[in-house]
Amino acid sequence: MQPSELDILEIISSVGQARSFYIEAIQEAKSKNYEGCNELVRKGNEMYAKGHRIHQLMIQEEAGGNHVEVNLLLTHAQDQLMSAESFKILCDEFVDTYRRLDELETQIHRER
């Protein structure tokens, strides 16, 4: 099976948007805008899931005995998918860290 270029480009586009949303979410958390942060994470998760579903279908094809031809474009899409997944993990960690930092700052200000 030769994956369509359109499907591969959809993976690249979707996970690229997801990565951008995750980066913006970290910036919003840093600015203490957790409502905006949560919305950006939600959008990022939607876009990541979209790209992941397409990739998962290709894996299911391969597992079903239909050889999937790997080319440079598909390799790039897989690299972008993994990059977005890494940003998602880092986003979750950064947002949690900023929330905890804000809680500690609030606690310190109350004790003064």
Check whether 79 is labelled as a binding-site residue.
yes
Helices (H), the chain: 5-30, 34-63, 72-111
55, 67, 76, 109: which one is catalytic? 76
Q: What is the 3-state secondary structure (H, E, C) of 9-26?
A: HHHHHHHHHHHHHHHHHH
Judge whether 67 counts as a catalytic residue.
no
Active site amino acids: 76
Residues annotated in a binding site for Mg(2+): 79
Residues annotated in a binding site: 79
